[in-house]
Amino acid sequence: MSSPLSPRTASTPPSASASAPADVIVVGAGPTGLLLAGDLAAAGVRVTVVEKRARESNLTRAFAVHARTLEAFDARGIAEPLLATGPFLDSLRIFGRGRIDLSRLPSRFPGVLMTPQYETERVLEERALKAGAVLRRGVEVTGLRQDADGVELDVRDVGARDDGIRGEGIRGEGIRDDGIRHDGDGAEGRASETLRASYVVGADGVRSAVRTALGMPFPGRSVLRSVMLADVRLETEPDGLPVFNSGRDGFAFLVAFGDGYYRAIAWRRGCELPSSAPVDLDDLKDLTRAVFGTDYGMHDARWTSRFHSDERQVPRYREGRVLLAGDAAHVHSPAGGLGMNAGLQDAANLGWKLAAVLKGTAPDSLLDSYHDERHPVGRLVLRLSGTLVRSVLLASPVARGLRDAVALAAGAVPFATDRGALMISGIGIGYPAPPGSHPLTGRRAPDLPLVERPGEPSRLYEALRAGTHVRVLPRGGGAPSHDEAGVTTVTRADARPTTLLVRPDGYVAEAADHG
């Protein structure tokens, strides 16, 4: 029985409107949408991205770029530019003196990159535009219809909106903002049009217009209310950034932007102010002192806001020719910095499948495997981040003390910290494989060294930059053949006798020992 892990052949490609301006319309120009658009454009798919923000926002919602995401970027040739934008940490501090050691991850990137989200978006946008994607900003979705051949998307020009840059709120990574208006902001009468494509992907965040137009439920609940955010200057830089701590009064987190400003995130126990309430810098400093013992000379806030955070997941990632990815499909607390990374892995999983279907090299049913593989991962991320945030919110001093002691003890046990590192980094996440498959099927492929030949890649993730499946032959298994469309063949340099077929997203589609 064939598996979605492997390339399959379809007799005819799906039909599409002859007048369609794009094969795929991606709604949302955050990290998830931009990675997907870049993958599709690089594969020769006509893709248009529509984004409600009229210009790039200077707000940063996510900072952590974990190892598995860096591997995905490496397979696209964009890891190095991003690594230059922030510090690379080999461990994460949790609960007092507890640490999760990332330095032993079996990856080219044994750690986590701390960089503002706008740097990630910049690198991804440059790649997508260079590959031929079309980006339309200041355009919001007002309606959606689909039929057997494609999707119609009603959109409206919303002009040069402020996008909440001066503190009206932020969206994304489990964050819901009650202060942003959704009535069109006086945009009545602006230009409206209908776009058509073979497929539409909603990557437009927690308030997804695509998900709303589908009538898709988004079950879950709120877990954090009235969390304060501020971009501030500090007189004294904390040791070992980013720093986090929690106590009787709440918790606080500080991370550097790299431009002299720091993002402060803080929550006061019992505070129920609405998200629209202003942040008092003195209140933020007082809470920071209570948690850290110092406010580090906090001053000159250039931006403040509040948010509350939800845990939600849609029941289906696919509805006909419409698919959901990133925060449009799953949101959770920011604990662990998992949200943006989960969305990027959604995009990496979906992009090659959409391209294969549109090119006619795989049937439309291949897209069902996107839900089958990524929905359980979204559920896992909800559990991981939920466990972390509930540990942070413990009210009892005895419970907090026990938590800190357990975290410190677990950090001294390699097995425990390695397991935690594998899950948080994404390195340990795999996909289900058909019964009877080789044990490596569905697992993440390591960055294997390859037999070097002139003009050819020296390691697997360089070979993946071709955007195809990669067949990895054992050394001595015969000369590589380059006559199969959609497959790049290389030879592994180590002595293992296993032949691998690796998907474009870096997961093993098939494996066989001794040829």
Answer yes or no: pTM beyond 0.75: yes
Dihedral pair phi/psi, residue 442, rounded to 5°: 90, -10
CA distance 374 to 380: 10
Helix (H) or strand (E) holding 127: helix 117-131
- Do the domain assignments include residue 81? no
Q: CB–CB of 356/366 below 8 Å?
A: yes
Q: Are residues 452 and 304 in the same domain?
A: no
Predicted confidence at residue 62, as pLDDT, reads 83
Q: Are residues 263 and 305 in the same domain?
A: yes
Helix (H) or strand (E) holding 421: helix 414-425
Q: Are residues 252 and 263 in the same domain?
A: yes
CA distance 340 to 501: 28
Q: HEC states along 325-394?
A: CHHHCEECCCHHHCHHHHHHHHHHHHHHHHHHHHHCCCCHHHHHHHHHHHHHHHHHHHHHHHHHHHHHCC
Helix (H, G, I), strand (E, B) or coil at 88: strand
User: CATH number, domain at 350?
Assistant: 3.50.50.60
- Do the domain assignments include residue 153? yes
- Do the domain assignments include residue 17? no
Per-residue pLDDT of the chain (515 residues; tens, 9 = 90+): 345 555 443 333 333 333 347 999 999 999 999 999 999 999 999 999 999 988 766 566 788 999 999 999 999 999 999 999 998 999 877 766 667 789 999 999 999 999 989 999 999 999 999 999 999 999 999 999 999 999 999 999 987 544 433 333 333 344 434 333 333 444 445 689 999 999 999 999 999 999 999 999 999 988 888 889 999 999 999 887 788 888 889 889 898 887 889 989 999 988 888 888 999 999 999 999 999 999 999 999 988 988 888 899 999 999 999 999 999 999 988 777 899 999 999 999 999 999 999 999 999 999 999 999 999 999 999 998 888 777 777 667 777 677 666 666 666 556 557 888 899 999 999 999 999 999 999 999 999 999 988 888 999 999 999 999 999 999 876 655 655 778 999 999 999 999 999 999 999 999 999 75
CA distance 379 to 313: 8
Last residue of a domain, one of 310, 338, 357: 310
Last residue of a domain, one of 278, 310, 342: 310
Q: CB–CB of 239/300 below 8 Å?
A: no
Domain range for residue 300? 221-310
Predicted confidence at residue 182, as pLDDT, reads 33
Edge-to-edge order in the sheet of strand 199-202: 134-137, 47-51, 24-27, 199-202, 322-324, 318-319
- Do the domain assignments include residue 45? yes
State the pairing for strand pair 330-331/88-89: unpaired
Dihedral pair phi/psi, residue 266, rounded to 5°: -145, 145
DSSP letter assigned to residue 419: H
DSSP letter assigned to residue 70: H
Q: Are residues 269 and 345 in the same domain?
A: no
CA distance 352 to 39: 7
The count of domains in the chain is 3
Q: CB–CB of 229/255 below 8 Å?
A: no
Q: Are residues 32 and 174 in the same domain?
A: yes
Which residues face 58 on adjacent strands? none
Predicted confidence at residue 307, as pLDDT, reads 84
User: CATH number, domain at 281?
Assistant: 3.30.70.2450
Q: Are residues 239 and 374 in the same domain?
A: no
